[in-house]
Structure 1
Amino acid sequence: MDTTSETIVSATTPRGEIALRVRPDPSGSGVVHELVVAGVFAMDSLDPSTEVALAQEALARVDSPDRVLVGGLGLGFTTWQVLKDKRVRHVDVVEIEEDLVAWARLALAPTLGLVARHPRVTIHAGDVDRVLHGESDPAGPWDLVLLDVDNGPSFLVHEGNERLYRADALRAALSRLAPGGVLAIWAAQREPALLDTLESLSPTDEVLLEVEREGRRLEYALYLARA
């Protein structure tokens, strides 16, 4: 993360500080937005290709993705890619940080503003784990459930998110899918234990994505399980 970053806005939450920052774009055009959660670099707008791929890979696996649930708002790139598919009639976004939801509605980052204003989107401030267990609105079923709330089970943004990758939580997520639906999970690296758990519950694909960032080759992973 670039040390020249400047904080646009920050807030203290029960899970720690959340901050939206900007830094100069290395290309010299504009700025790069960064999201930092509890001191952990969550994502930036420099290269959202893997967030986009999460949506693309999931959408390619269903015939009629009418309803989609996105767990984790981030900077909005996954949801914005979902909305580009005209088959999608409605997207529920569940974000645990109320302040990030407010910043989206204030359009403090470009894609966040596009998502928050879109007529096919409803953003809910809440815990996606409770939603997937049927303990909180919105209610399913969904044709796609996309989870991008962490950097994966080996690099958690919040320690409490560990429960999302347990077999009972994954089983609950799969139960919220319509017939033929897909559960898709983003991770910052390969997660063999997660793959094993998903495969014990449902047929699952692992998709590896190579990205070059600031001179480094990185490998991300997507996990896609069918209802």
Structure 2
Amino acid sequence: MNAPEETVVLDRREGPHGEVVLRRQGALLQIIANGCFLMDTSDGRSERLLVRAALAEWSAGDGAAGRGGRPSLLIGGLGVGFSLCEAASEPRWGRIAVVEREEAVIDWHRTGPLAAFSARALADERCTLVHADLVAYLHGHGTAGHFDVLCLDIDNGPDWTVTDGNGSLYSPAGLAACRARLAPGGVLAVWSAQRSAAFAERLRNAGFSRVRTEEIPVVRGVPDVVHLATIPA
């Protein structure tokens, strides 16, 4: 039997939202927030599907028919960079903005170990990295403009948030803020570690249509999912 791979802490920071840690286990890099495992560099299928499914949903909807051109994208959460890299690899995207609240995570991508994954994407002229809390950013007035697509991957899902403050993002007020940032016909895509019928109902009550989920199989346990919803054009 092979011995378990050693886990090495590469950086540990105490920020306004608690502790964030970057560690290496074998060839993998892992991000831990307040003792909760968030993600690692092992796969990224579900994070990439989040972006691909959102683009497909927008392309098939009234937003593409009414606006044409390349859609703009707002990604909530930088993580290990899979969603950003997927977006930057797709020429059909126009403006790409990524909002990340943890300065440590931004540093790990700009000058740290995660730069190996994201440097090319961050160098793309379409991409902008914003250091801000996503909840506050969405509620800001006139500072960011509208986006055709909003992809959220800041928690383990609407029912499993990293910090208590993130819960407001999935509330009626938070979903109203998401709607306000979307252009007519815009698409909201939310990554989750499990289905949430309650969240799907909240999306409908918030005025979204075409509410559905797309599953991503995992090695063990229930599939990850992407919640998709559209606003009228």
The alignment's TM-score, normalised by the length of structure 1, stands at: 0.89
How far is the alpha carbon of 1:3 from its aligned partner?
7.2
Map 1:141-220 onto structure 2 (within 5 A).
141-200=146-205, 201-203=207-209, 204-212=211-219, 216-220=220-224
Q: Quick one: distance in 2 between partners of 1:93 and 1:140?
A: 14
Compare the two structures and name the one with the higher helix fraction: 2
Corresponding residue pairs, total: 216
Stretches of structure 1 lacking an aligned partner (at least 5 in a row): 25-30
Q: 1:157-201 CA deviation, whole Å, 9 max, x = no partner?
A: 111111110011112101211122101100111111111100222
Stretches of structure 2 lacking an aligned partner (at least 5 in a row): 60-68
Q: Quick one: distance in 1 between partners of 2:85 and 2:229?
A: 22
4+ residue segments displaced more than 3 Å: none
Q: 1:3-43 CA deviation, whole Å, 9 max, x = no partner?
A: 7321111211121111111111xxxxxx1111111111000
1:44 aligns with 2:40: yes
Q: Give the AA of the match of 2:50.
A: L
Tell me the equivalent position of 1:221: 225
Aligned Cα root-mean-square deviation (Å): 1.7
Map 1:79-118 onto structure 2 (within 5 A).
79-109=84-114, 110-118=116-124
Which has the larger displacement, 58-67 or 80-89?
A: 58-67
**Maintained 8 Å contact 2:89/2:121:** no
Tell me the equivalent position of 2:64: none
Percent identity at matched positions? 33
3-state DSSP of counterpart to 2:158: coil
Compare the two structures and name the one with the higher strand fraction: 1
* RCO higher in structure (CA 8 A, sep ≥6): 2
1:125 aligns with 2:131: yes
Tell me the equivalent position of 2:65: none
The alignment's TM-score, normalised by the length of structure 2, stands at: 0.87
